[in-house]
Structure 1
Amino acid sequence: MTPPLSERLYQRLVGTDDGAAGGLDQEVAAAVPRNATRQVGALALQSAGDLVVDAKTVLAWLLAAVGAPTAVAGLLVPVRESGSMLPQAALVPWLRRKPVRKWVWVAGAVGQFAAVTVMALLAATATGATAGWGILAALAGFALARSLTSLASKDVLGRTIPPGQRGQINGWASVASGVVAITLGLALRVFGGDETDPVALAWLIGVGGLTWLLAAAVFAGVVERPEPDPADDAPGAVATAVRLLRDDRPFRHFVVARTLLLVSALTPPFVVTLAGQQGGAGLAGLGPFVLGSGIASLIGGRLWGRASDRSSRLVMVAAAVIATGITLTFLAVLQVDALREAAWLYPTTYLLLAIAHTGTRIGRKTYVVDLASGNQRTEYVAVSNAAMGLLLLVTGAVSSAVATQGPQAALLFLAVLGLVAVPVGLRLPEVSGERAAAG
């Protein structure tokens, strides 16, 4: 008898350790192939949508097209990233009362669809400050909905997929979204033209929003075993955060390492800024950067996913080394007049940084899921993301202040953070795959 499609895909895509259930309930263990393929599909659809409303590229291009104030563009990345992280610690008590967490993810996906739809309508009908601040407000709503999917996804992953396979789930989702990004990037490059039409971008964003509706439908089919509600006297968000950061040394160490890994997240916007100063306006100029994001996901997703299941700690360290080396090399090349205006320099640098950031993202997601279990995982994800949101605002403000001396000064500051991340990451305890078992 031919196995179901989900099982065939699972066997081809995910390397397993002799079918180890990893302590999963019998019903959930039997549904691992279905759960794996559905989570890959849902996360891939979400990632594909993310590429269409990327704050670093598409939304920045859109704000320029509608004539929004420059101040709005500077707030895009902080609002998008911090807005999705800061609420998570406060959401933990509410989430812990949910015996089944997948519906929280579904609600977050529907919320992101609604927010993206508002962005598309504003792009098509408004201009200037109205469009700019309206899109930023919609982005804040998007980020709040994203906090639900971010918090619930790691919890559902830990409940439904055994250790040794979780990094591959994130990796294959990145690969699938990379295919979409490459297609989109090539289309923008070939058909985009030299003018940026806000209505065309509105259609692009609106169609991209549908990916979250599809993702919600796919994720709803995940098989998850209900778990009993915790005690009503569970500590509040602030008390939980203080306790974990004060008393849990491995977790505190992870939060510090994750903050220092911001080199791969915050450097790309400055590369795009420098590219803009060299010319290349219009939708066609946006194409190479979207294409770079796709290639990075396609290459890095599979590579970093498997590596994270062996050692997510070393993946984060390797990503920091790569991102820092690329940033320093880029700064050195900029000192050569003949190379500073080369058309290939900025998209190539962006691509390499995106590959490093894919490693950072997959490594840290796998690490925090493997570091804890049960409701402790929910606390770890929420508190680390909330702390990261605050630290991102601080680091972003410092790098923006340094950027008043020029984008190159900000890049140098971020490269220093990356250098410090290497020894900090090496001190993290091993929690993933064969290395953790050997330890």
Structure 2
Amino acid sequence: MIVSTRSRNKLKLVAASALQSSGDQTVGASTVLPWLFHALGVPAALIGLLVPIRESGSMLPQAFLTPLVVRVRQRKWVFVAGALVQAAAVATMALTAALGRGLAAGVVLIAALAVFAFGRCLCSISSKDVQGRTVPKGERGRINGMATTAAGLVAITLGLAIRWLGGDLGGPQLAWLLALGAALWVLAASVYAVIDEPVDEEAGDAAASGAYWLRRTGALLRDDRDFRHFVGVRSFLLVSALSPPFVVTLSVQSGSSGLAGLGGFVIASGVAALLGGRLFGRWADRSSRRLMSVGAGGASAVVVAVVIITALPGFRGDEPLGTALFIGSYFLLTLLHTGVRVGRKTYVVDMAEGDLRTTYVAVSNSAMGIILLVVGAISSALAAVAIPWALLFLAALGVVGVFAGARLPEVSRV
């Protein structure tokens, strides 16, 4: 019976994670939403707020929400609440896409994205804890990998459908896409609600008080050397997350149009997820820290290669070889980022047990929210001078991450 329950839980976790990841594809802050802003005539200045609000908005509140989360005896209900919040936010975006226009539509979409990020925050806090309680060590990386693979299949299908509809999508068409995303989050909440999670009889103890939590947060970063090291390494892994948009911008500046279509972006990320999910899931179970290091090093190598090749005399992005370079590098960076994400998630789940795992997730994500804003500001300032400088800065971070990640303790082996 125990084996049967584990098997059912694994299937439910994969299904819920795949539904959530698929929903993410319909509201991409670097693909779908900028396209929607352009279609609705939203001022370009607001586009720069999309990625910071989505990413930092889902990370920064986590440490402050943890006192509430640890009071809940079954953390799956926190995920269900977060998924429904995301569904409501995306439904608001869909309605705005169908009826809105101009600055007013942009403001509503930004506000809805902030609410969406809050729901994403709740899901992030709770999902790793639920996985840690219901799936034994040695199998968690494969859960993350299978979910990523399933989401990749959906992304490829979605991207092909978008390309079939045509590249000149307007608000009404994207409204249907967003409505699909809202439905996917409702389904994710429904699946998560029936996961057989053990009840935490010790939930709601002194660790849930606000003052105690703030002291514990400071103490973790100050005294827990391994955890502090993990947060530091995670900040160097941003090369795979932040460089793809700059590669796309560089391709446009070089005259290439191969990545201009929304469908092409979605297909590239879907293929990367499809190929990387299962491969990196098994790798993460063997050594999640090594996977993070290899991902950072590989992303840095791709970025440096792009900068060098595009600087060669006579290089043209509108020629077949130039277009292939940008498409290939974008795909590789997305593939490597899939590995980094699977490794990072598996590492933090494996390095602790119980409420300490929840604490690790929340504190590391809150710290990363701040670090993301700082690194994003620096790379954006460098990009204002020249895109290659921003890419080289991110590549340098990745190189440091290779050596720093190699010094992390091994936690993923059973």
In the superposition, the TM-score normalised over structure 2's length comes to 0.95
Instruction: Return the match for 2:299 from 323, 346, 349.
Output: 323
1:48 aligns with 2:11: no
1:396 aligns with 2:376: yes
Residue 110 of structure 1 and its aligned partner are, at CA, apart by 0.6
Matched residues in 1 for 2:408 and 2:82: separation? 32
The 3-state SS of whatever aligns with 2:200 is coil
Residue 233 of structure 1 and its aligned partner are, at CA, apart by 2.7
8 Å Cα contact 1:87-1:147 kept in structure 2: yes
8 Å Cα contact 1:339-1:345 kept in structure 2: no
Matched residues in 2 for 1:271 and 1:190: separation? 25
Residue 42 of structure 1 and its aligned partner are, at CA, apart by 0.3
Pairwise mapping of residues 117-132 of structure 1 onto structure 2 (< 5 A)?
A: 117-132=91-106
Pairwise mapping of residues 250-269 of structure 1 onto structure 2 (< 5 A)?
A: 250-269=226-245
Instruction: Return the match for 1:165 from 139, 153, 160.
Output: 139
Matched residues in 1 for 2:249 and 2:38: separation? 12
- The Cα offsets for residues 273-293 of structure 1, whole Å up to 9 and x where unpaired, read as 2334436499x7111111010
The 3-state SS of whatever aligns with 1:256 is helix
8 Å Cα contact 2:60-2:367 kept in structure 1: yes
1:96 corresponds to: 70
Amino acid at match of 1:333: I
1:13 corresponds to: none
Pairwise mapping of residues 40-439 of structure 1 onto structure 2 (< 5 A)?
A: 40-193=14-167, 195-230=168-203, 232-234=205-207, 236=210, 237-277=213-253, 278=255, 280=257, 285-336=261-312, 337-341=314-318, 342-433=322-413, 437=414
Matched residues in 2 for 1:102 and 1:318: separation? 32
Matched residues in 2 for 1:339 and 1:96: separation? 55
Residue 221 of structure 1 and its aligned partner are, at CA, apart by 1.2
The 3-state SS of whatever aligns with 1:343 is helix
Residue 198 of structure 1 and its aligned partner are, at CA, apart by 1.7
Which blocks of at least 5 consecutive residues in structure 2 are unaligned?
none
Deviates more, 1:207-216 or 1:337-346: 337-346
Matched residues in 2 for 1:272 and 1:205: separation? 23
8 Å Cα contact 2:87-2:182 kept in structure 1: yes
The 3-state SS of whatever aligns with 1:97 is coil
Matched residues in 2 for 1:138 and 1:44: separation? 23
Amino acid at match of 2:290: L
1:37 corresponds to: 11
Matched residues in 1 for 2:158 and 2:204: separation? 48
Residue 231 of structure 1 and its aligned partner are, at CA, apart by 5.9
- Report how many aligned residue pairs link the two structures: 406
Q: Closer, same or farther in 2 for the Cα pair 1:28/1:380, shift >3 Å?
A: farther
In the superposition, the TM-score normalised over structure 1's length comes to 0.89
8 Å Cα contact 1:98-1:229 kept in structure 2: no
- The Cα offsets for residues 273-329 of structure 1, whole Å up to 9 and x where unpaired, read as 2334436499x7111111010001000000100000000000000100111011111
Amino acid at match of 2:39: A
Matched residues in 2 for 1:241 and 1:94: separation? 15
Amino acid at match of 1:325: A
8 Å Cα contact 2:70-2:204 kept in structure 1: no
- The Cα offsets for residues 179-223 of structure 1, whole Å up to 9 and x where unpaired, read as 011111122223314x23121111111112210011111111110
Amino acid at match of 1:314: R
Residue 266 of structure 1 and its aligned partner are, at CA, apart by 0.5
Deviates more, 1:321-330 or 1:403-412: 403-412
Amino acid at match of 2:310: L
Q: Closer, same or farther in 2 for the Cα pair 1:135/1:231, shift >3 Å?
A: closer
8 Å Cα contact 2:258-2:327 kept in structure 1: no
